[in-house]
Amino acid sequence: MITKEDIDKIFDAARIEEVVGDYVALKKRGANLIGLCPFHDEKTPSFYVSPAKGICKCFGCGKGGNAVNFLMEKEAMTYPDALRFLAKKYNIDIQEEEQSPEQIQSHNDRESLFVVSSFAQKHFSENLYNTDEGKSVGLGYFKERGFREDIIQKFQLGYSINHRSAFSDIAIATGHKLEYLVKAGLTIEYSNNREDEPASETTTETKISDRFWGRVMFPIHNVTGRVIAFGGRTLRTDTKKIAKYINSPETEIYHKSDVLYGIYFAKKEIINQDNCFLVEGYTDVVSMHQAGIENVVASSGTSLTHGQIKLIRRFTNNITILYDGDSAGIKASFRGIDLILEEGLNVKVLLFPNGDDPDSYSKKVSSEQLKEFINNNSKDFISFKTNLLMNDVKNDPIKKAGLIKEIVESIALIPEAIYRSVYVKECSRIMDVEEHILLSELNKIRSKKFNDKKTQAPEQHTESVPDFDTTILEDKKDITLSNAEHQERDVIRILINYGNKEVRVDSQDDEGNTIEIGVTVAQLLIHELQHDNIVLDNLLYNSIYNEFVEHLEKESIPDYNYFIGHENSAICSLTIDLISSPYSLSNWEQHSIYITREEDILKKSILSAVYALKSRRLEIMIHDIQKRLKENPEEEEMIQLMQTQHQLLEAKKEFNALLGRTILK
């Protein structure tokens, strides 16, 4: 268990904008930062980060919290694991009580996969420098590829010894469980029938093997820099049966369709350049970094997926795909371009000279020449696709018509009408086809797509609407008038946001003279509610209110940070909602325009909230009396009810007329 002192140190050091910034590209908006939500799919940013309050909040899906809550949600971490992660990030030494065997046994499986993956990376990297085979074969290969020492260490490249179980044997010998080595995809278990014994006594032996033995290793990191998987390249040339590259299988921490190689090392520069270069392989990424271009990631030889595109979109809306000169491979990858367009991103394409890929070309030219080549030769997808396919069309009008339709189908995927219009004009110019013809075809494609979606949507079964009588309508009205949810929420909002702020109110001295004294918002608000014995109906609101009362009795007042870190997750979530806002005021004072803020008129806001709540309670009481009067009670009860109703109506008038003056006695 982490000590309270260390937890406080972690919370003090953790910067919400830095933690969230590892996952999301954030842009300044007033006092806040804004970006695309990492918890749900969106094209318009609705995820806000408040550095001043130390919280984040999505106004689309509602998720948010402090740095610890964010990591727990995003990385499926436990509370202690999120604290440990932040302690490591901010170089905070923490003291933990010794765990019991039961606690160790129940340690999170997910974290165990990270542990064995990290061990494997360090082991493979050490092999490069601490073993003869690693130095001659592994390090020799990387040096032959032209990789500098600093680049090898930056990407934590390594080598797996050419022995079937060398890694697994060492991992188990150092205390790592075979169960997690297998789950992480590092070790393979297989059965071997022993047939050297009589048939009646034949037994089955379970053996183990390293997945990557005899390969140079490329660790795959998630966006926070943790190793989650590996790619291994064989150096053997004596057989064609062995795959050149093999990757880790799907695991609890590695889902290849949502991962891009190099994203951890590229994300900062992707944000700075507002562009992401997409290449095919591991060595392409490493070589581009060595050439000084760091905003580059790889799909690791797999077809581009929606998940990978959404990962890029967290940091930029612009993608430039870097292809080698293989036209057949490029044509096969057009589906990836369509996926990018469908996600609403801007895509450009660059084709290297025949026989070159990003890895080889970056070694032929200087860093400046490479950057210049990319800038001068990147084309929008229409120009690129048209020029590439025109050679196949030649003078065949049928093939040309097919090409035009294929390009229009790609344009039809773009969600923004303005961008579609621009691309239609470009296509019209390049293909020498009238614009209205392209627009007509475009509209037919989009119309068909829309109708197909409607057809595929599950049928909505409608039920006959029952006839409502006046009793049911009356009951619905009762439900509306039976609570003061909105007013109670506003009271709690003020308590959490301003509870420890001071306001000036009128009081009386011992001689009955009116004097002005300072009290906290919590004291004033709670005094007003207790004066009329008001208890909040909403259980969650009432729970928070009671905590303020208890703290006041101990002469302390909690602030919103206390409730953000509350053990009750519902209270934590509500607090985030009540202190969050997607808006912030501009600095109008520089233009001699002064805006009144709520904190400047706290006393008025408090009394308005209290009077609104009391007025609402009176409305409910009046409604209950009117309902009873409709039931024709006995004359004596009717007279009493009417007198009470008159008193309540008068009280409601007074509350509605109050301007905010109160006397504390």
- Per CATH, the number for 4-101 is 3.90.580.10
Per-residue pLDDT band for 137 (boundaries 50, 70, 90) equals very high
Per-residue pLDDT band for 461 (boundaries 50, 70, 90) equals very low
Model pLDDT, residue 456: 59
CA angle centred on 625, ends 624 and 626, rounded to 5°: 90
Range with the poorest average pLDDT among 225-229, 238-242, 531-535: 238-242
pLDDT tens profile 616-663: 888 888 888 888 888 888 878 778 878 888 877 777 776 666 534 343
Check whether 481 has a pLDDT greater than 80. no
pLDDT tens profile 53-106: 888 988 888 888 888 888 888 876 778 888 888 998 888 888 766 655 554 444
Tokens 């306001």 belong to 503
Contacts of 335 (CB under 8 A, 6+ apart): 303, 304
pLDDT tens profile 368-404: 999 999 999 898 888 888 777 777 777 788 888 888 8
Model pLDDT, residue 584: 52
Architecture of the domain made up of 258-455: 3-Layer(aba) Sandwich (3.40)
Check whether 51 has a pLDDT greater than 80. yes
> What element of type H or E holds 227?
strand 227-234
CB 346 within 8 A of CB 318: yes
Model pLDDT, residue 659: 35
Measured CA to CA, the distance from residue 74 to residue 584 in angstroms comes to 26
Q: How many CB atoms are located within 10 Å of the residue 437 CB?
A: 13
Model pLDDT, residue 657: 60
Q: Helices 539-553 and 569-579 meet at what angle, rounded to 10?
A: 90
Q: How many CB atoms are located within 10 Å of the residue 142 CB?
A: 21
Check whether 118 has a pLDDT greater than 90. yes
Which tokens hold the place of 180? 């997690």
Model pLDDT, residue 338: 86
Mean pLDDT of the chain: 81
pLDDT tens profile 300-340: 767 788 889 988 988 888 999 988 766 666 766 778 888 89
Q: Where are the domains of the chain?
A: 4-101, 109-254, 258-455, 475-583+595-664
The strand ranges marked E within 394-462 are none
Which SS3 state, helix, strand or coil, does residue 505 take? strand
Measured CA to CA, the distance from residue 335 to residue 321 in angstroms comes to 13
Q: Which residue blocks in 532-634 are alpha helix, DSSP H?
A: 539-553, 560-564, 569-579, 602-629
Model pLDDT, residue 315: 84
Range with the poorest average pLDDT among 122-126, 292-296, 576-580, 648-652: 648-652
What is the rounded average pLDDT of the residues 172-182? 93
Range with the poorest average pLDDT among 91-100, 117-126, 248-257: 91-100
Per-residue pLDDT band for 478 (boundaries 50, 70, 90) equals very low
**What is the percent of the chain where pLDDT is above 90?**
25
pLDDT tens profile 512-561: 777 778 788 888 888 888 887 888 888 888 889 888 988 888 888 888 88
Q: Helices 470-481 and 602-629 meet at what angle, rounded to 10?
A: 150
What is the rounded average pLDDT of the residues 158-162? 95
Per-residue pLDDT band for 342 (boundaries 50, 70, 90) equals confident
Query: Fold for domain 109-254?
Result: DNA primase DNAg catalytic core, N-terminal domain (3.90.980)
Distance of CA 528 to the CA centre of its chain: 42
What is the rounded average pLDDT of the residues 613-618? 82
Tokens 């409601």 belong to 652
Distance of CA 654 to the CA centre of its chain: 50
Model confidence, pTM = 0.64
> What element of type H or E holds 296?
strand 296-298
